[in-house]
């Protein structure tokens, strides 16, 4: 009977003759409440470290992947491969402002208005035609000067930095460049840019003027050899013909690979570009 109910006979006191266990003892053992089992000891939890002024707390971990990984690798490659030098100057934007306003004022409401970027892309392309060494790349032990002038316009539409290209910008009108820029911006926002529209540039411009920046040191878009940074257009006092005048001015920052472009050719490119920005009619 004890075996039937899985009872341990050694733990049942016998009341029969000689201390033998009788049926009544087993019945009593079955009727007795089961002994309470000891509760498991609580596991101790390590206390959280106390924060102090020397503690660094991670609030977010962002994987380096996708477009960010491409930017990460290209920027590292550019600075580790080239000897980059930045030349900075400031030029009058009045001629460019007047030129843009005159054209936009005669356009129909449904026609694409020209932007400052479109004007500067055209000016850059024509300056590159006059200073072809700036329109080059390094390939091993060879400097390759490109016949085509494909100007990239760096932009960030919320998905990371991308640089779509205006192909053969030196052969296109400012109006055509403005229309193509509008189309590229729309495609960038919709994430529909093709690989061909993002590759094969020979020069890049990047504009931080909208964020109130004047001068900066842009990093060359490898494997190109030069990039132009544009600052904001802002009115400043300026000495002109021995008189102090207030006029709109724009800062230009040219970064180039000093291994293959010397300081003087870089400065001459900037001088040519300055002349075209200040006198846009020279581009017609």
* Cα 170 to Cα 71: distance, rounded to the nearest angstrom: 27
Q: Token pair for residue 131?
A: 């200073």
Q: Token pair for residue 247?
A: 């006029």
> For this structure, is 262 an active site residue?
yes
Check if the beta carbon of residue 157 is closer than 8 Å to that of residue 182. Answer: no
Check if the beta carbon of residue 163 is closer than 8 Å to that of residue 154. Answer: yes
CB count in 10 Å sphere of residue 72: 12
Check if the beta carbon of residue 219 is closer than 8 Å to that of residue 161. Answer: no
> For this structure, is 5 an active site residue?
no
Distance of alpha carbon 132 from its chain centroid, rounded? 29
Active-site position among 98, 156, 186, 262: 262
- Exposed, middle or buried, 232 (CB in 10 Å: 0-12/13-18/19+)? middle
176-193 in b/e form (b: 16+ CB < 10 A) is ebbbbbeebbebbeeeeb
3-state secondary structure of 261: coil
Q: Token pair for residue 210?
A: 């909208």
CB count in 10 Å sphere of residue 62: 6
Catalytic center residues: 258, 262
């Amino acid at each position: 009977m004890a075996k039937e109910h899985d009872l341990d006979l050694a733990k049942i006191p016998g009341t029969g003759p000689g201390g033998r266990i009788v049926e009544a003892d087993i019945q009593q053992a079955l009727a007795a409440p089961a002994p309470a089992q000891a509760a498991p000891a609580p596991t101790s939890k390590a206390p959280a470290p106390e924060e102090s002024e020397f503690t660094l707390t991670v609030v977010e971990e962002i994987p380096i992947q996708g477009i960010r990984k491409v930017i990460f690798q290209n920027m590292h490659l550019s600075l580790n491969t080239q000897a980059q030098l930045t030349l900075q100057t400031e030029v009058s934007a009045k001629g460019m402002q007047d030129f843009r306003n005159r054209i936009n004022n005669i356009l129909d409401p449904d026609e694409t208005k020209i932007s400052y970027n479109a004007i500067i892309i055209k000016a850059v392309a024509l300056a590159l035609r006059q200073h072809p060494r700036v329109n080059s790349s390094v390939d091993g032990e060879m400097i390759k000067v490109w016949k085509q002038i494909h100007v990239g316009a760096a932009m960030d539409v919320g998905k990371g930095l991308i640089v779509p290209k205006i192909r053969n910008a030196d052969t296109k009108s400012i109006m055509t460049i403005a229309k193509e820029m509008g189309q590229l911006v729309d495609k960038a926002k919709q994430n529909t840019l093709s690989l061909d529209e993002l590759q094969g540039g020979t020069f890049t411009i990047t504009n931080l003027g909208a964020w109130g920046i004047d001068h900066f040191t842009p990093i060359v878009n490898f494997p190109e050899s030069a990039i132009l940074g544009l600052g904001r257009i802002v009115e400043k006092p300026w000495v002109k013909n021995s008189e102090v005048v207030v006029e709109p001015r724009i800062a230009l920052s040219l970064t180039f690979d000093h291994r293959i472009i010397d300081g003087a050719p870089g400065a001459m490119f900037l001088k040519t570009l300055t002349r075209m920005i200040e006198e846009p009619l020279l581009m017609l």
